[in-house]
């Protein structure tokens, strides 16, 4: 897994402070940033976050480049709907030799890993066989329709992999770019940094949190699972590691 912070506004916390300042003062827009030095910005945001006034942090966004993750993770990630995603397409990219993610528990068991790898190899073989059969069929059709050879081959492959991809596994590796506003990102961390989140998306969320804390430490000061700043919301399903999690996330 590789997670990179591709884009953010270096003055992101100042922008948030200015947005909040506008809510509580009669300042004109052309002077809204005046006087917001580092100390005042931090104090303003600390007060803002303690009051739960989170709408001003929607004005800043963070864009991540993510690779080496599974389609299984992607299905979970896109449930966070207040975000923008661009993902490697299996309709346009041939997955004839796809990479795949091996779950940690399977990786640690030699017998389980052998079965898993065999399943991936079988999926790849099936995908390639289906692609070849469909490509040949579509190629003939496109030639009959009057397309030149180069165009027919290109269109036939695209049409073939559209259907062949149905046999690809959840473990299939993918790449994506994701953009969140800060408020949505904090909500994402509440759910996905939690011990009850699946290991892969939890690892990714924790890495994303480390990256944004470096560039926006005040806004993300207490970001992470909900238990680090209040009671665990999971009830009987709690992991029981509240003190451990508070130490981990608050002392990073």
Q: Residue 115 has which token pair?
A: 């079965």
DSSP 8-state secondary structure symbol assigned to residue 52: T
Catalytic residue among 71, 81, 165, 192: 192
Angle between helices 38-50 and 12-24 (to 10 degrees): 60
Beta carbons of 208 and 242 less than 8 angstroms apart:
no
How far apart are alpha carbons 135 and 159 in whole angstroms? 7
Q: To which H or E segment does residue 134 belong?
A: helix 110-144
How far apart are alpha carbons 56 and 23 in whole angstroms? 9
Beta carbons of 96 and 197 less than 8 angstroms apart:
no
* Catalytic residue check, 192: yes
How far apart are alpha carbons 43 and 17 in whole angstroms? 9
Neighbours of 90 (CB within 10 A): 19
Q: Residue 42 has which token pair?
A: 């931090």
DSSP 8-state secondary structure symbol assigned to residue 30: G
Positions annotated as catalytic residues are: 192
């Amino acid at each position: 897994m590789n997670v990179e912070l591709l884009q953010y506004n270096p003055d992101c916390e100042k922008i948030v402070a200015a947005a909040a300042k506008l809510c509580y003062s009669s300042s004109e827009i052309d002077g809204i940033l005046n006087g917001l030095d580092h100390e005042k910005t931090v104090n303003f945001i600390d007060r803002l976050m303690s009051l739960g006034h989170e709408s001003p942090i929607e004005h800043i966004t963070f864009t991540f480049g993510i690779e080496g993750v599974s389609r299984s993770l992607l299905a979970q990630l896109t449930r966070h709907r207040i975000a923008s995603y661009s993902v490697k397409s299996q309709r346009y990219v041939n997955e004839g030799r796809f990479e795949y993610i091996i779950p940690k528990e399977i990786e640690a068991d030699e017998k389980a890993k052998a079965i898993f790898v065999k399943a991936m190899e079988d999926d790849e073989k099936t995908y390639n066989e289906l692609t070849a059969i469909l490509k040949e069929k579509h190629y003939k059709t496109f030639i009959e329709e009057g397309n030149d050879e180069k165009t027919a081959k290109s269109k036939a492959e695209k049409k073939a992999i559209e259907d062949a991809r149905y046999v690809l596994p959840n473990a299939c590796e993918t790449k994506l770019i994701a953009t969140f506003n800060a408020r949505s990102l904090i909500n994402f961390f509440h759910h996905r940094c939690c011990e009850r989140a699946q290991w892969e998306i939890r690892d990714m969320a924790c890495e994303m949190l480390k990256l944004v804390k470096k560039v926006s430490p005040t806004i993300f000061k207490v970001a992470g699972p909900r238990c680090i700043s209040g009671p665990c919301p999971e009830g009987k399903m709690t992991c029981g590691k509240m003190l451990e999690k508070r130490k981990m996330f608050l002392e990073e």
